[in-house]
Amino acid sequence: MNPHTTPRPFPMRSMAGSSSQQPQQQQRTRQPPAPQVTTNEEYGAIAEEDRDHVDEVFDLMDMKKKGWLNSYEFKHSLAALGFDLPKPEYFRELEAYGSVPPDWQDPHNCPVNRLYIYLDQFRLCAAKLIANRDPREEATKVFNMFDYDGDGIISFEDMRHLAQDIKDERSMTDEEIQSMIEHLDHDGKGGVNLEEFIQMMEEAG
């Protein structure tokens, strides 16, 4: 378990004649600080839009603006980033990056599901997951979102459906949709299969 303390200082209670508690408070403040992102290569390596998305998700999930996420909020934050992890993997991430709550009486005996995740810790965890994700797996997820009827081909009707769902300022015309499909459809089947879609994503970079 990661015994890191939180980025915030511990509250110092004024208790006259309670000098026995001072060493304990001083010992707590000497615990290593929570990991920071300033020198983290993985966080610096991910795209700026990914970093912005990570921060947006953290801010959204921290609805009460506590400055940290509990285990439940952390799990759903990862899912919002596209990482719906099985419970054992999620607990490993929580254990690796979580901090013991500042008011926890025994910092060395804190259950994993009671740990806090602060913004920098969340950034570090998310950056690692983003950097290690499989591009083909990500492309497959997007393909399945576009393949509305689930027949393994993104057809004209699928693209038309997508254009209606997006509701952008400028919708694609039927002619533009047909032209795009014909450009990507290598064997005249009337749509784009997964391999063609992955190739398109790789060429787009």
pTM here is 0.58
Q: Residue 134 contacts by C-beta under 8 Å, 6 or more apart in sequence?
A: none
- What is the model's pLDDT at position 5? 41
Contact in structure between 54 and 127 (CB atoms under 8 Å): yes
Residue 149 lies in a domain: yes
The domain total for the chain is 2
CATH number at residue 165: 1.10.238.10
Residue 151 shares a structural domain with residue 109: no
Domain assignment of residue 82, given as a range: 48-132
Rg over alpha carbons for the chain, rounded to the nearest Å, is 24
Distance CA 34, CA 58 (A): 16
**Phi, psi angles (nearest 5°) of residue 155:** -95, 180
Residue 97 shares a structural domain with residue 55: yes
pLDDT band at 19 (very low <50, low <70, confident <90, very high): very low
Residue 41 lies in a domain: no
Residue 10 lies in a domain: no
Residue 32 lies in a domain: no
Please state, rounded to an integer, the average pLDDT across all residues of the chain: 79
* pLDDT at residue 13 greater than cutoff 80: no
- What is the model's pLDDT at position 202? 72
Q: Which residue has the tokens 């719906």?
A: 84
**Phi, psi angles (nearest 5°) of residue 192:** -115, 125
pLDDT band at 65 (very low <50, low <70, confident <90, very high): very high
Residue 167 shares a structural domain with residue 101: no
Residue 6 lies in a domain: no
- Chain segment 151-189, per-residue pLDDT in tens: 999 988 888 887 777 665 556 788 888 888 888 888 888
Last residue of a domain, one of 88, 106, 132: 132
Residue 30 lies in a domain: no
- What is the model's pLDDT at position 45? 82
- What is the model's pLDDT at position 89? 93
- Chain segment 37-55, per-residue pLDDT in tens: 555 677 778 889 899 999 9
Last residue of a domain, one of 93, 111, 132: 132
Burial of 97 per CB tally in 10 Å (0-12, 13-18, 19+): buried
Alpha-carbon separation of residue 31 from 10, 11, 25, 178 (angstroms): 11, 15, 10, 62
Contact in structure between 74 and 58 (CB atoms under 8 Å): no
Residue 139 shares a structural domain with residue 119: no
* pLDDT at residue 35 greater than cutoff 60: no
* pLDDT at residue 122 greater than cutoff 90: yes
Last residue of a domain, one of 132, 157, 189: 132
Residue 124 shares a structural domain with residue 198: no
Residue 108 shares a structural domain with residue 174: no
pLDDT band at 70 (very low <50, low <70, confident <90, very high): very high
Contact in structure between 89 and 83 (CB atoms under 8 Å): no
- What is the model's pLDDT at position 137? 79
Residue 145 shares a structural domain with residue 180: yes
